[in-house]
Amino acid sequence: MATNTLLLLPGDGIGPEIMAEVKEIIALLNGRGLTDFATDEGLVGGSAYDAHGAAISEADMAKALSADAVLFGAVGGPKWDGVPYDVRPEAGLLRLRKDLGLFANLRPAICYPALADASSLKREVVEGLDILIVRELTGGVYFGEPKEIVTLENGQKRAVDTQLYTTSEIERIARVAFDLARARGRKVASAEKRNVMKSGVLWNQVVTKIGKEEYADVALEHVLADNCAMQLVRWPKQYDVIVCDNLFGDILSDVAAMLTGSLGMLPSASLGAPDAATGKRKALYEPVHGSAPDIAGKGIANPIAMIASFAMALRYSFGLIDLSDKLDAAIAAVLGKGLRTRDIGKDGDTLVSTKEMGAAIREEF
């Protein structure tokens, strides 16, 4: 019996091409006896719609619910622009997030030395950057009720969104951030706007309490979210882990991504609550980039974000920290040697294919 189960959902566009490189790595790990992964595969997004008329079938949802972790490629593309809203490709990912209860979104922003010149900031500001944004993913203004546009008697319209957080929602995301900080630089910055928002006041109070009572060994700093955005472009290396709500996290993680100069190289993880019996969290790992329909099928997509997402799975779902570190180091090494796919190449670089990049990383691994 395999000890660890992984559901692979390659999805659409370049998804299958980049997932193929992860499959090779899994085969290598299992082959060397370093892991005992059992993988299963399913359809999501447009490919699921074509096969079943749904963005993900019930059978594949059931597989996702029982797997230790889900690896997700990317969904969507012009082919499915006209499909009904409920079954549009993105609905597959939203369903997975909701049914797996994935409330914590982890977005690392790592600047590989070999690519530091691709950042819009100066090399010394970003070189060696390694920060982690922890975004609350299932609450806040994205989901709070009321959420509506109402026509008033005078013909004007009024739009309402509700920023809503409860103590327990803030506690659980704070614990994720503090736990992660413990395994890294032991620093958490909590970003909110307590100066203008009640939810910011509560966020600040709850994070402070959890920090004091449960994580005295982790340094906690509070920062207003707007100032945090400014600090991220001024001197990002001051941060280790940043924890914030759904909306601020959406913005701050995109800011952090651009610091690295390579949006197409970034992985992400989304985690659920620990299971009461086993302590294991539901989890989904995916590249930050999309399905890149413009280059799909050409064999030139960069597989690094997908491979780095698998490295996050090794770390956060399976506790295989050494292997995860080794895989990250292999990525840094091939970049150091000058290997470039088209998206990260400059004029004069010799470009490699998806398969060549994957093979080079396995070679280093």
Active site residue 215: no
Instruction: Tell me how many residues contact ligand ATP (CB under 6 A).
Output: 15
Q: Do 30 and 36 meet the contact criterion of CB atoms below 8 Å apart?
A: yes
- The CA distance from 304 to 312, in Å, is 12
- The CA distance from 339 to 146, in Å, is 51
Q: Is 79 annotated as ligand-binding?
A: yes
Catalytic residue among 60, 193, 240, 316: 193
Draw the binding track, 86-105, toward ligand ATP (x: CB under 6 A; -: no contact): --------------------
DSSP state at residue 79: G
Of the listed pieces 155-163, 209-217, 276-284, 295-303, which binds ligand ATP according to CB under 6 A?
Answer: 295-303
- Comparing CB distances to ligand ATP, the nearer of 169 and 328 is 328
Q: Which of 135, 289, 315, 362 binds ligand ATP (CB under 6 A)?
A: 289
In the chain, alpha helices (H): 15-31, 46-52, 58-66, 89-99, 123-126, 167-182, 198-214, 225-234, 246-259, 304-316, 321-336, 354-364
Closest CA to 50 of 18, 19, 76: 76
Site for ligand ATP contains 290 (CB under 6 A): yes
Instruction: Give the Cβ contact number of residue 350 at 10 Å.
Output: 8
Positions 226 through 265 that interact with ligand ATP (CB under 6 A)? 264
- Write down the least CB distance from residue 93 to ligand ATP, Å: 9
Draw the binding track, 35-74, toward ligand ATP (x: CB under 6 A; -: no contact): ---------------------------------------x
> Angle 58-66/89-99 helices, nearest 10 degrees?
40
Residues in a beta bridge with 133: 107, 242
Site for ligand ATP contains 291 (CB under 6 A): yes
Q: Is 33 annotated as ligand-binding?
A: no
Residues engaged in binding ligand ATP (CB under 6 A)? 14, 74, 76, 264, 289-292, 294-295, 301-302, 305, 341, 343
Catalytic site positions: 142, 193, 226, 250, 254
